Amino acid sequence: MKPVRLRAAHAPVARAAPRAAPAFPLRLLATVPHRMFFAQAMALLLVAVLGWAWTMAARAGWVAGPTTGAAQPSWHLLAMLYGFLPFFMFGFLFTAGPRWLDVPAPRPALWRPAGVAALAGAATMLLAPGEALARAGAAVHGVAWLALAAAFARLFAASRVRDRGHAGVVLAAMLAGASGPLAYAASGDAAYPWLAFAGLWLFAVPVFVAVCHRMIPFFTANVLPTIAIFRPWWLLAALLGGPLAHGTLEAAGARGWTGIVDVPLALLALDLARRWGLAQSFANRLLAMLHVGFVWYGVAFALYAVSSLTTLADRGALGSAPAHALALGYCGSLMLAMVSRVTFGHAGRTLAADRLTWALFLLLQATVVVRVAAALWPAPWLLAFAALLWALCAAPWALRNLPIYARARRDGRAG
């Protein structure tokens, strides 16, 4: 007979920790910044990729064209750089920013009204049937964007930490980015050159460079202790200053001379990818997504360097191939990686890239290759195919993540 073991009378009874009662979905969206802004961004992402796929399919003669402004010259820039992207960034800023700055998390009243106004303006800007209404929406979007940037500036000013460099870069880029919709509101399609310059060189690239410089070495060291953290300030200055110099030369009509900065920038970035642990990062897919995204930075400037040399040799440029390697490859890959990381972590889920996320990331890499090829050989069918691939990658990602933002965390914690 097996002995019976008695529990002491004073021994505590183990109890499972009570789970927090699920919050009402609208309350979660209205009180947790990354939930509201990420949900808004996902909805606008669907508008952007589906609208552009429709437009490009129509240009290839496959379907009838859209009746909204998606066929207008500036729509693609407005949708891809100024539509969903700032909402992802504000969601990240009001979630990670307070920790960067060591200040209390902002009250919803600081970001919610402007966030709702920005969504209304951006949706109108992208869905309006005519330019006049689209410009009115852009004005609302731009003003609300400035209000959100000012809210983050208040957190920045309240901080007493010594290391505010990354937050300062992102704040400056967000302020510059608001000039895009405001310029379109003032000038319509005549603002196209400024939309292209400000959206890429003053807004999107600086934000992602600052996040890469701060987060990739940090996350890598957490997962791979053998990789030392390497992020000196001169490196951040080079990764920011090079693109700004390139964009300025390009805007001045000196495309043939951008190689002066493109060549050293490409070499620096590709060597940095090695030093940051690209090869070792594949032990963790979510980490690898960040590293692969950064590789596109180096590839983009290598393509810019080739385009500069061929322009000087009067052999023609590479068209928009380098710009799409930078915008879709670098910024797009990092967006998918960082947003997935924040979404999973703050939903109480396993902090790892599951099969669907990894498959969509790989599809995005194929999409970038096809889009770069379509810039080099601009056949209408190839351009339409690239747009469809982008939609096939982004739409499932958005639809999969959207419901997560309205659900309580799996681990029962608040947030």
Convert the pLDDT of each residue in 172-214 to its tens digit.
999 999 999 999 999 999 999 999 999 999 999 999 999 999 9
Instruction: Supply the CATH classification number for the domain 32-60+72-403.
Output: 1.20.210.10
Convert the pLDDT of each residue in 354-409 to its tens digit.
999 999 999 999 999 999 999 999 999 999 999 999 999 999 999 999 999 999 88
Provide the token pair at 386: 């690239």
Provide the token pair at 59: 């240009």
Provide the token pair at 196: 């292209």
DSSP string, 358-411: HHHHHHHHHHHHHHHHHHHS--HHHHHHHHHHHHHHHHHHHHHHGGGGGS--TT
The pLDDT of 123-140, averaged and rounded, is 95
CA distance to 3, 166, 369, per residue, from 325 (Å): 71, 24, 8
Cα separation, 370 vs 137, in Å, equals 33
Contact at 8 Å (CB) between 406 and 28?
A: yes
pLDDT at 2 over 50: no
Convert the pLDDT of each residue in 80-121 to its tens digit.
999 999 999 999 999 999 999 999 999 999 999 999 999 999
The structure's pTM equals 0.92
